[in-house]
Amino acid sequence: MAETLFFQIVLIATVSVFAQWLAWRLHIPAILFLLGFGFLFGPVFGIIQPDALFGDLLQPAISAAVAIILFEGSLHLKLRELRQTRKSVRRLIALGAPLTWLLGSLAAFWVAGLEWAVSVVLGGILVVTGPTVIMPMLRQARLNMNASSVLKWEGIVNDPLGVIFAVLAYEFFVASRLSPAPLDSGFFFEKGAILLIVALASFALAHLLTRLFERGHVPEYLKAPFLLAALLALFFSANTLLHESGLIAVTILGMTLANIHRASFEEIRRFKETITLLLVSGVFLVLTARLDMAVLDGMSWRHMAFIVVLMFIVRPLSVIASCVGTEITWRERLLIGWIAPRGIVCAAMAGLLGPLLTSAGFEDGDKILPVAFAVVVATVVVHSLTIRPLARSLSLRATEAGGIVVVGVHPWTIQMAEVLKERSVPVVIVDNNYHALTQARLADIPVYYGEILSEETEYALELHKYGTLIAATDNPAYNALVCEKFAYDFGQDRVFLTSPHDEREDKSEYKKIAPAIIGRYWGKKHLTLERLNILALQGWRFKVTRVGKDKQTGKLILPEESERRYLMGLISKGGTVHFSSPLGKETLQPKEDDIVLLFDHVDTSQRARDRT
C-alpha cells in the first residue's frame, strides 16, 4: 500500500515537470498537457487516486496551494505600472470584469440551468483569464503592442479579481442559508468588519516583513521559508475568522509587497516562481485526476451551449462595452473580444469552491468543477489555434520584432542605446544592479531592473517588441546562458554576446561552454568587452551615417573601416538592426538608404563641435 502511494506521488511530480517541459518545447500552454495527463492517469486508467492518496488532507492542501499561487500572481500587480497602461486596459478591468461576472452568471443560470447561487459563484470564477495561458499565446502570435498589452494586463489583474468575486459570492449565499434576510440581519455588517480587519492585517504584515528583512533580523537563507510560513499562517488565520477570506488576505499581502519596491524580495521572487510552478502543475494534475466519470457523463447539451454563449456572446459584449471611447481600434476589439482563455486558477478555484457549495446544501455545487474544466479546455484549445491566424487576417501582428535587448549596463551600451533610440529602434537595457542603471535612467533609456532569466521578465517586459539580444555582462557563462534561453524565441542568429577574451589570448575557460548554445560573438574580431570599455573611456562613440550612392558610378558610398573606426551594424529601411559578427556566416551587405552603425574615435574638439 505504501509503495503504491509513493508511486503516485512520484508520478505526479514527474508528469507535472514533463508537461511543463513539453509545453516549453512546443510553445503550447502547459495546461493542455496537464489536463491530458491528469485525465489519462485519473478517470481513464485510475492510476492516480487523489482522495485515496491524500485523504482528509486533500482539501486543505489544495486550499494552501491555491493561496500560494494567488500570492505569486498578486506580486505582479504593481500599481505604478498599471497606472501607466492605456485607458482601455483600466476600463477592461474596472468595467469589463464586473460585466463578465454579471453576464456569465446570467448565462450559467438561464443557459446551463444551474441554480442561482452556483451560477453567481461560477460567474466570478470565470472572470479569471490567467497569465499562465495568455503569455504563451502572446509569444506565439506576436501581436502589436496595443492588443498584447491589453491581454497581458487583463490576465495579470483578473486572477485575483475573479477570486475575490467568487469568494464574496460564496460568502453571501452561504450566509443566505443561515439567515433568511442576511442584508437586514446585520450579518454582512459583521462579515464586512472581519474582511476589513483581514485586509488591514495583511497590509501590516507586508510592512512588518519588509522591516524584518531589511534590518537583518532574518538571514538570507531563511527569508523565503520565513515568508512562506507567514503566508500560510495569514491564510489559515483569516479562514478561521471568515471562511475563504484567506484568499483575499494573501492577495492583499502580495499586492502590498509588490508595491513596496524593496530589493530584499528579489531572491524571494525567484523562489516563489519555482514553488508556484510545481504547485500549479501538481494541483491541476490532481484536480483533473479527481474528476468523476459519472459527473462528466451528466454534463448535458445545456452545459455545452453555456460554453458557446460564454465565448461568442459574454466575452465580446463585455469587451465592446468596456472599450467604447478608448483608443482601441475595431480590429483590436474583435481580437480581444475573442481571446479569453481560462487557466489553472480558474480550475483550482472551481475545485475548491465546488465541494464547499455542495457541503453547504447547494445541489449543483458538484457541477462547477466539470463545467469549469470544460471551459478551460474549450477556450485554451480554440484560442491557441485561432489567435495567430486571426491576428494575421486582422493585420494585428507586429510587422517585425526590430527592438534590441541589451543585458549589462556600461557607458558604451548606454551611448549605443541613445543612438538607436534616436533612430526609433526600440531598445531596453537590462541589469540586476539597480544603481548601475542610474546613468541609463538619466539618459532617458528604457531600463528593466531584474533578472533577465526570471519568469517575471515575461510579465514585466513586452518581449514581442524585441527580436535581437546582446549579452554584455562581465560573466561569460551567464552571457552564454542568456543567449541559450533567448535563442529559442529570437533565433540563433539574433542573439549575441561580447567576447570575453582576445583571440590571441588563452580562453580555455570559455571553451568549456558548448559553442552550440552561446549564440554569436558581437562586433569585430578583437573587440572584447574589456576593450570596448577602454575605448569608450578613450573617447570612442557610436554614431550613424546613411548609405548613399555615387550618381556617376552607381556604387554605394560607405564609410571606410580603419583602426579608429569599426562598422558594428546597420539599420535597414524597415527599422531592423543587423549586427556584425566575426563568426557569422554572412557579412553585412548595406543597401542604399540603409543606416550604418559605427563605433568611431571622436576627439574632444569634434565632440565640442557636435554639441554646438
pLDDT tens per residue across span 129-159: 877 778 777 766 777 777 877 888 888 778 7
296 contacts: CB under 8 Å, gap ≥ 6: 43, 370
The answer for residues whose C-beta is within 8 angstroms of residue 193's C-beta and 6 or more apart is none
User: Is residue 121 within 8 Å of residue 353, measured between CB atoms?
Assistant: yes
The residue-averaged pLDDT of 31-56 equals: 83
CA 66 – CA 185 distance, rounded (Å)? 32
Alpha-carbon span 437 to 414, nearest angstrom: 9
- Residue 605 vs residue 527, higher pLDDT: 527
Please determine, for residue 111, whether its predicted confidence score (pLDDT) is greater than 90: yes
Residue 43 has pLDDT above 60, yes or no: yes
Do 389 and 409 lie in a common domain? Answer: no
* Residue 398: inside a domain: no
Which is more confident, 118 or 221?
118
Angle at 413 between CA 416 and CA 448, to 5 degrees: 110
Q: Give yes or no for a contact between 500 and 507, defined as CB atoms under 8 angstroms apart.
A: yes
Cell of 176: 443566505
pLDDT band for 612, please (50, 70, 90 cuts). Answer: very low
What pLDDT, on the 0 to 100 scale, is given for residue 424? Answer: 82
In this structure, is residue 316 part of a structural domain? Answer: yes
What CA–CA distances, in Å, run from 205 to 227, 242, 257, 276, 435? 10, 18, 10, 21, 28
Q: Label the pairing between strands 447-449 and 427-431.
A: parallel
**Count of structural domains within the chain:** 2
49 falls within a domain: no
Q: What is the DSSP string of 170-238?
A: HHHHHHHHH-SSTTTTTHHHHHHHHHHHHHHHHHHHHHHHHHHHHTTSS-HHHHHHHHHHHHHHHHHHH
In this prediction, residue 119 carries a pLDDT of: 94
Confidence (pLDDT) at 466: 82
Q: What is the pTM assigned to this prediction? A: 0.70
Task: Check which CATH number belongs to the domain holding 574 and give it.
Answer: 3.40.50.720
Q: Is residue 51 part of a domain?
A: no
Pair 389, 424 in one domain: no
Domain contains 47: no
How many Å apart are CA 537 and CA 430, to the nearest integer? Answer: 22
Answer yes or no: is pLDDT of 426 > 90.
Answer: no
Residue at a domain's end among 346, 374, 393: 393
501-545: pLDDT as tens digits: 654 444 444 455 555 555 688 877 678 888 888 898 888 899 888
Helix, strand, coil percent content, the chain, rounded in steps of 5: 65, 10, 25
Residue that is last in its domain, among 393, 417, 438? 393
Q: Are residues 318 and 428 in the same domain?
A: no
If we measure between CA atoms, which residue out of 374, 361, 354, 207 comes closest to residue 302?
Answer: 374
Domain around 431 = 403-611
Name the more confident of 231 and 93: 231
If one counts every other C-beta atom within 10 angstroms of the C-beta of residue 224, the result is 19
**In a shared domain, residues 488 and 344:** no
Residue 336 and residue 462 in one domain:
no
Co-location of 380 and 409 in the same domain: no
The arithmetic mean of pLDDT across residues 244-261, rounded, is 82
| Mean pLDDT along residues 22-39 | 80
Q: Is residue 162 part of a domain?
A: yes
CA dist 273 and 453 (Å) reads: 12
Residue 317 lies in a domain: yes
Residues 104 and 123 reside in one and the same domain? yes
Domain contains 52: no
Q: How far apart are CA 418 and CA 401, in angstroms?
A: 19
Residue, of 535 and 609, whose pLDDT is higher:
535
Mean pLDDT, residues 473-487: 86
Q: Do 69 and 276 touch, CB atoms closer than 8 A?
A: yes
| Domain identity same for 378 and 478 | no
Pairing of strands 565-571, 577-579: antiparallel
Least confident of 32-41, 350-359, 423-432, 492-501: 492-501
My answer on whether 80 and 211 are in the same domain is yes
Are 230 and 298 in a shared domain? yes
* Integer Cα distance of 497 and 482 in angstroms: 9
CA distance 356 to 478: 48
> What does the pLDDT read at residue 505?
47
| DSSP H helices in 290-428 | 293-297, 301-309, 315-322, 330-338, 344-359, 368-393, 411-422
Q: Residues 87-99: what's their mean pLDDT?
A: 83
Residue showing cell 554605394: 556
* 249 shares its domain with 100: yes
Q: The CATH number of the domain where 373 resides is what?
A: 1.20.1530.20
Average pLDDT over residues 588-610: 70
Which of the listed residues 331, 366, 393 is the one where a domain comes to its end? 393
* 281 class by beta-carbon count within 10 Å (0-12 exposed, 13-18 middle, 19+ buried): buried
454 shares a domain with 602: yes
Angstrom distance (rounded) from CA 603 to CA 612 = 15
